[in-house]
Amino acid sequence: MSIPSFEALPLAAPLQRALRENEYRVPSPIQAQAIPPLLEGRDLLGCAQTGTGKTAAFVLPTLQRLEASARRVKRGCMRCLVLTPTRELAVQVAESFSKYGKHQRFSLATVYGGVSQGPQVKALARGLDVLVATPGRLLDLKEQGHLDLGEVEVFILDEADRMLDMGFINDIRRIVREIPAERQTLFFSATMSAEITRLAATMLTEPVSVNITPSTTTAEKIEHSICFLRKADKAALLLSLVQQQREAEDEGLTLVFSKTKHGASRLARNLDRDGIRADAIHGNKSQAARQRSLEKFRTGRTRVLVATDVAARGIDVKNIGLVINYDLPNEAESYVHRIGRTARAGAEGRALSFCAEDEFGCLRDIEKLIRQEISVYDDHAQHAVDVADAYARAKQSKSSGNGRSQGRSPRGGNGSRGRRGGYRGNGARSRSRSGSVR
């Protein structure tokens, strides 16, 4: 569907004013395809990668509905319920409602764990137009008698695949049983596995399907490469890359992913010690501390944020120019979501991932998932030719063992030798004069 501008959409004047103030002019593909049927009250099944403008695609029609039909909500009830997998994402979604609805009158609250429930209970007591919640705290408050799901008109499930990864499937089913059958349901997921499809089928009625990009590919404007090195050299390469990013003032912020909470804290401390303003965000930190860290990162007071996968989908920060996977994720799909923190909303970005010899299995799973070989970035002092060659041999051996011809990738491309003699995947990136991947 071709929507030339937001002004062409039948959105109320307060919404149009907020869009103009935020300089939003042309809808992204998911916004152009999702907003018109949602304004008609249709159910929707949306498959879209992070950073595509998905949040606005459901926030704007919901605010339009609230603007068109204001009504009093009973104590403990809400008209719109948005479920998110993490508290960071809940805060992000609530901020979007506030941003786009700044010229409307509506009530909004968030409910999530890790903080005192007192203010949340107080907000629920007034009755709400919009509640953004994580499943665990929502059910906890319901069991205590503080909320009632019987007046929900619009139910939005965001990041459904992440919900399932985190074990919330039974909580979601319990919540769905409590909300009215007559409702508008919006179901969003970055991936569309068989389990996700089955869950959606139990919740949606004759939905419009919107599939913006294949669920297992990386965003087109992200240049992502792999760095083969020894584990002991990771810290030195991280410092070198972060320093390059800092010296290139127009290159934006840096987000680093660590496998463990303690590792994230250690990396942030080491970078601080070396003169790089860094902070860490992970599950051991209080919600207030996490929000402070995110705000400092968002405003640029902290140039580097080190995170665990808890933040992979909860960080929506503009101007992240570089994502570094210090540790490769155990779950291949997390790779897509991690590097999706850059190149947000049509911008360009880059991602570099470190791979030591004990991470070959993780890299193979990632390349299988995204159906491409990741190019090798070897223009750094820590590049280990023997590690790169060992990965090439391991992959070649695995391919030949599966009945494939020697040296062929699953898509038929042959690996080649880089100028340093190390293995290079297809489509190696060009380099700027500073040595950073462009």
- For the chain (438 residues), the mean pLDDT of every run of 10, in chain order, is 86 96 90 95 88 89 95 94 92 94 96 92 95 96 96 96 87 96 94 88 96 58 92 96 82 90 94 93 79 87 89 72 94 84 73 96 91 93 96 82 40 35 40 35
Looking at the fold, whether 100 and 188 belong to one and the same domain comes out as: yes
Q: Residue 141 sits in which domain range?
A: 6-211
Partners of residue 47 on adjacent β-strands: 189, 211
The answer to whether position 52 is within a domain reads yes
The answer to whether position 53 is within a domain reads yes
Contact call for residues 6 and 25 (beta carbons, < 8 A): yes
The answer to whether position 410 is within a domain reads no
Cα–Cα distances (Å) from 16 to 7, 9, 11, 22, 129, in that order, read 7, 9, 6, 10, 20
Looking at the fold, whether 24 and 148 belong to one and the same domain comes out as: yes
Looking at the fold, whether 173 and 275 belong to one and the same domain comes out as: no
Looking at the fold, whether 182 and 317 belong to one and the same domain comes out as: no
Looking at the fold, whether 78 and 172 belong to one and the same domain comes out as: yes
Contact call for residues 374 and 225 (beta carbons, < 8 A): yes
Phi-psi region of 23 (alpha: psi -120 to 50; beta: other; left: phi over 0): left
Cα–Cα distances (Å) from 178 to 39, 40, 75, 159, in that order, read 25, 24, 16, 20
Looking at the fold, whether 105 and 20 belong to one and the same domain comes out as: yes
Q: What is the pLDDT of residue 396?
A: 83
Partners of residue 132 on adjacent β-strands: 82, 110
Of 189, 211, 233, the residue at which a domain comes to its end is: 211
Of 179, 211, 243, the residue at which a domain comes to its end is: 211
What is the spatial distance between Cα 343 and Cα 326, in angstroms, rounded to a whole number? 19
CATH of residue 320: 3.40.50.300
Q: What is the pLDDT of residue 359?
A: 96
The answer to whether position 417 is within a domain reads no
Looking at the fold, whether 186 and 240 belong to one and the same domain comes out as: no
Looking at the fold, whether 206 and 226 belong to one and the same domain comes out as: no
Q: Which of 76, 85, 344, 385 is nearest to 230 (CA)?
A: 385
Looking at the fold, whether 378 and 329 belong to one and the same domain comes out as: yes
Of 177, 211, 245, the residue at which a domain comes to its end is: 211
Q: What is the DSSP letter of 431?
A: B
Q: What is the pLDDT of residue 219?
A: 53
Q: What is the pLDDT of residue 283?
A: 74
The answer to whether position 415 is within a domain reads no
Q: What is the pLDDT of residue 220?
A: 58
Site of tokens 């992959």? 395
The answer to whether position 406 is within a domain reads no
Looking at the fold, whether 192 and 250 belong to one and the same domain comes out as: no
Looking at the fold, whether 352 and 299 belong to one and the same domain comes out as: yes
- Count of structural domains, the chain: 2
Spatial CB neighbours of 355, under 8 Å, sequence gap ≥ 6: 226, 227, 228, 229, 328, 362, 363, 387, 391
Looking at the fold, whether 73 and 174 belong to one and the same domain comes out as: yes
The answer to whether position 299 is within a domain reads yes
From the CA atom positions of the chain, what is the Rg in Å? 23
Q: Which of 71, 64, 14 is nearest to 34 (CA)?
A: 64
The answer to whether position 354 is within a domain reads yes
